[in-house]
Amino acid sequence: MRRVVITGAGTVNPLGQTVSETLDALAVGRVAIGPLDLADARLSTRIGAAVRGFDPSDRLSARQMAVADRFSQFALIAAAEAVAAAGPGALPPGAGVILGSAGGGLASSEAAYRAVFAEGAARVHPFTLPRLMANAATSLVSMAHGLRGPSFTLSTACAASNHAIGLAFQMVRSGAAPAMLAGGSEAMLTFGGLKVWEGLRVLSDTGCRPFSADRDGLVMGEGAGVFVLEERDRALARGAPILAEVAGFGMSADAGDIVAPDPEGAAAAIRAALADAGLAPGAVGYINAHGTGTLLNDRSESAAIRAVFGEDAAAIPVSSTKGLHGHLIGAAGAVELLAVILALGQGVIAPSGAGHVRDPDCGLDIVAGRARQASVRAALSNAFAFGGLNAVLALRAA
């Protein structure tokens, strides 16, 4: 069977607007959560992880700027970095792109609704539809890089990036495509985007502290992560840099509750990823957890990890970098894959956040406060979506 490697990465996220900036920030555990500029008396949310100082006008054409919502702009910038890093010939004819997004062009939708419903406008901007459609980022990336192979957007909330990367992995492994771009993008720090999360009462006012006994919810972020996945032999033949090997992918559905997670569903996806990769549980040296910092996720995810790894669970370093960059929703798994690449490539496990109070209900070895040095040969990256849709990636060092 073909082996699949990652030969390029690109990102825009609250920690940095390039991969190197992001890896540096992860390695020192920099927290990018802070006060939001979005001021509205009807918003009780005051903090978030925004991409500050984002100005793509020097990197995107006037035409791209006109038709691309913020979530598509993130994807275009991240994809360009990934393609450049992978080097010439990374994406031959037949290559495509799969991106995840939960909200699509939310800012564009909201602007249009505000105009026609609140302000009584008779018409909306003619680009409103191409800006807001969830597949816009995928389409614009395919256009930018001439990708004519299998390309689509998938939307599985907080698991969308992992589903996208996992499907791209399966397509390259099966021979359906010689190489793929995959990842996700999200720009949900809008009035409506924040309001709907506020309504669920799961946002923190104080910061995101995954698995910490004093956690009190998630903090929303935004951004994108995009990767070049290609067949290993091909990558070796063209002398491409290899960041990591995608070794396996596991999916499951809880078929339970629309928001509350089920440890059984999460455990099934973890087991499936291990089996697909041919990895023994004892070989896993790091787990990048979904770790949202909510009571329900962190307890359920801890239970799932304990169920799969048994007594060995407490010996596996676990972190959720959402404590640093917030929850990027449909882009979460993509940006968190950078933390996995950091662990596999440089032996540095990024911390979950600044502080940590041990939670006996979780019972895991949580890396927090500062990064930890460790030799990691294989790692997992978890993503568990609202609606009970689970996607776990298994990776090996290059």
Residues annotated as catalytic (active site), given as ranges? 158, 290, 327
> CB of 193: closest distance to another protein in angstroms?
18
User: Residue 33 carries which DSSP code?
Assistant: -
> CB of 134: closest distance to another protein in angstroms?
25
Q: Residue 213, interface with another protein (CB under 8 A)?
A: no
Q: Residue 260, interface with another protein (CB under 8 A)?
A: yes
| Contact characters 286-325, another protein, x per CB under 8 A | -------xxxx-----------------------------
The string of DSSP codes covering 97-114 is: EEEE-SSSSHHHHHHHHI
- CA–CA distance, 283 with 286 (Å, rounded to integer): 9
Residues 45-104 interacting with another protein (rule: CB under 8 A):
none
> CB of 44: closest distance to another protein in angstroms?
7
Q: Residue 196, interface with another protein (CB under 8 A)?
A: no
Q: Residue 255, interface with another protein (CB under 8 A)?
A: no
Pick the closer one to another protein by CB: 205 or 312.
Answer: 205
Which residues does 41 contact at the CB level (< 8 Å), separation at least 6?
Answer: none
Q: Residue 326, interface with another protein (CB under 8 A)?
A: no
CB 5 within 8 A of CB 245: yes
> CB of 216: closest distance to another protein in angstroms?
5
Pick the closer one to another protein by CB: 219 or 350.
Answer: 219
User: Radius of gyration (Cα) for the chain, nearest Å?
Assistant: 20
Helix, strand, coil % (nearest 5) of the chain?
40, 20, 40
> How far is CA 78 from each of CA 50, 83, 220, 338, rounded to the nearest angstrom?
16, 9, 19, 12
* 355-372 burial code (b ≥16 CB/10 A, e <16): ebeebeebebebbbeebb
Pick the closer one to another protein by CB: 233 or 361.
Answer: 361
User: Looking at 102, 202, 224, 328, which residue binds another protein (CB under 8 A)?
Assistant: 202
CB 350 within 8 A of CB 27: yes
User: Looking at 258, 311, 360, 373, which residue binds another protein (CB under 8 A)?
Assistant: 258
Residues 216-235 interacting with another protein (rule: CB under 8 A):
216-217
The string of DSSP codes covering 43-94 is: ----EEB--TT--GGGTS-HHHHHH--HHHHHHHHHHHHHHHHH-TTSS-TT
User: Looking at 55, 62, 117, 201, which residue binds another protein (CB under 8 A)?
Assistant: 201
CB 152 within 8 A of CB 163: no
Candidate ranges 82-90, 120-128, 153-161, 256-264; the one touching another protein (CB under 8 A)? 256-264
Pick the closer one to another protein by CB: 1 or 258.
Answer: 258
Residues 27-46 interacting with another protein (rule: CB under 8 A):
41-42, 44
Which residues of the chain form contacts with another protein (CB under 8 A)? 41-42, 44, 199-205, 215-217, 257-260, 293-296
